[in-house]
A and B are shown apart, each in its own frame.
Chain A
Amino acid sequence: DIVLTQTPLSLSVTPGQPASISCKSSQSLLYSNGKTYLYWYLQKPGQPPQLLIYEVFNRFSGVPDRFSGSGSGTDFTLKISRVEAEDVGIYYCMQSIQFRTFGQGTRVDIK
């Protein structure tokens, strides 16, 4: 099974400051079609996960452009350019090249 490891596990950020979350995969997520199957989600308290980024760097519909994804192969990063109060929650990476597995989550709160 593919294992995803996120760091850090928690992050406290001053509003307006940037934040960055890493996701490392135990196997390459690059498929033979050239696509890399790594997603990012945000789960706000009491809500289901909501898709932010798909296939490493594509923002989902309605996602603010302060969110960006990057990386390749086994190493990926989610960046928030300027954190806002509404960005609090738990961020998960997920791979979809081999069924589905999720990272352990990164809790983001506001200082």
Chain B
Amino acid sequence: QVQLVQSGAEVKKPGASVRFSCKASGYILSNYVMHWVRQAPGQRLEWMGWINAGNGDTKYSQNFQRRVTITRDTSANTAYMELNSLTSEDTAVYYCTRDDYWGQGTLVTVSS
């Protein structure tokens, strides 16, 4: 069965970077697009970007364009997202999703 397993919770200081991983099982990563979506406390879901895991093409939301990088390692069947220049407003749960299946989410807390 399809599963997306994400990396564990992180606590970061303002200005730092964070890297998320999303390991896919039950299917071949490169056959699908992988999205990253975040959910700040009490807020709606917010799309951050996607990667075509087959050819590596990426597209980012304008809200995160300058701070986010999405990559993948097809040999590890894993997608990654890096978010830079963190502020307290980046405190949120971050999800990877194939639209039909979602990872369990990674909580990032940004605090000095």
Chain A interface residues toward B at CB < 8 A: 39, 48-51, 54, 60, 92, 94, 96, 99-105
Measured CB to CB, the nearest residue on chain A to B42 is A105
A6, B59: Cα distance in complex, Å: 26
- Residues in B with CB closer than 8 Å to A103 are 44
- Among A50, A96, A100, A104, contact of B102 (Cβ-Cβ < 8 Å): A50
Cα A104 to Cα B35 in complex, Å, equals 19
Count the A-B residue pairs with Cβ separation under 8 angstroms: how many? Answer: 40
What 0/1 pattern do residues 36 to 49 of B give for CB contact below 8 A with A?
01000000111100
- Bound Cα distance A96, B104 (Å): 21
Q: By the criterion CB–CB under 8 Å, are B44 and A92 in contact?
A: yes
| Pairs across A and B, CB under 8 Å, 6 listed | A48-B105, A49-B102, A51-B99, A100-B35, A100-B37, A102-B46
Known: A99-B59, A100-B35, A100-B37. A48 touches B44 (CB 8 A): no
Q: 1/0 per residue B2-41: CB within 8 Å of A?
A: 0000000000000000000000000000000001010000
